Copies of this chain bind each other. A is one copy, B any other.
Amino acid sequence: MAGPAKITTKEQVEEFLNSYDDFLFDCDGVLWQGDQLLPYAAETLDLLRSKGKRLIFVTNNSTKSRQAYTKKFAKLGITVTAEEIFGSAYSSAIYLSKVVKLPKDKKVLVLGEAGIEEELASEGIQYVGGTDPSLRRDIAPEDYDKIVPDPSIGCVLCGLDLHINYLKLSMALINLQVPETIFLATNIDSTYPTNGKLFPGAGTMSAPLILASKRQPISLGKPSQAMMDCIKAKFDFAPARACMVGDRLDTDMRFGVEGGLGTLFVLTGVNTEADVLAADAPVAVKNYMSKLGDIYEILKN
């Protein structure tokens, strides 16, 4: 089979655009780097819209709801609607309401931030934990007696929790020792790239619980196909006519390939041209280009 094809000419761009109706985008490293919009990224999105393409922005960030995430786009001058955004918190809420069909009398114990709470609420799912200020404290001696499995808790859901503590980990672990308790993670990214450094990612919240409970969570973030199933359920697209655009081979590109989508890899993020062309690349990408903005730049020249 032929290796990844680099798109550099007007003809190649046109053929590429004609191949797809739906475009799924990773955001950081594709549209922007940190707080810096990438060249011609906004113009390319406008061009795709003008051609009637559907845009879906797929993010593993669970700390913000879709609504809150639109503000990040707006700040960089890109107009999107909450409906076009698909985050791992929303994915988790959809999974619980539509796939698992969590009974209405069951609650979710959340390790995570407001983004998860807002998305659970949008699907009418009850939750405890999360940003509850009464849990932002040290464990007390009496907690070792008080923390017992709560029959009203049907699921433990872990996202990036900037207020993680031993009390919340203990509550989660004790409830996970009940085999019926569903164990979900918004995503299991090991690191959270910010300010040019790698901070602990959402996966570091579930890692202690995986070790102690000897259980594995279902992840609702890229590259998990549980997330792809939720996206397909919502947007109802033909995978062969959809393309996943991303900067990471082991998450974005794997996500697209395993979902049966076309793939476009860009060189403005984590992985390099050498990575995508390597014989031992983690996944076989279909197309790649220097940057997403090349679509606009090449067509206009």
Contact = CB atoms under 8 A, between A and B. Distances in A.
A203 B198 contact: no
Interface residues of A, number: 36
Interface string A148-174: 100000000000011111100110011
Interface in A113-153: 138-139, 144-145, 147-148
A210 B200 CA distance: 11
Nearest to A189: B212
B207 A169 contact: no
A274 interface: no
A301 to B, nearest CB: 39
Contact of A166 (B138, B148, B161): B161
A144 B199 contact: yes
A234 to B, nearest CB: 30
A191 interface: yes
A270 to B, nearest CB: 15
Q: How many copies does the complex hold?
A: 2
A169 B173 CA distance: 19
B163 A204 contact: no
Nearest to A136: B138
Nearest to A139: B162
B200 A169 contact: yes
Contacts of A197: 144, 147-148, 174, 177
Contact of A204 (B190, B199, B208): B208
A201 interface: yes
Given A165-B164, A212-B203, A173 B195 contact: no
Contacts of A162: 138-139, 166
Contacts of A145: 195
Top 10 A-B residue pairs of the complex, sorted by shortest distance between their CB atoms: A204-B208, A207-B207, A144-B195, A207-B211, A190-B212, A207-B208, A190-B211, A169-B200, A162-B166, A170-B199
Interface of A: 138-139, 144-145, 147-148, 161-166, 169-170, 173-174, 177, 190-191, 194-195, 197-201, 203-205, 207-212, 214
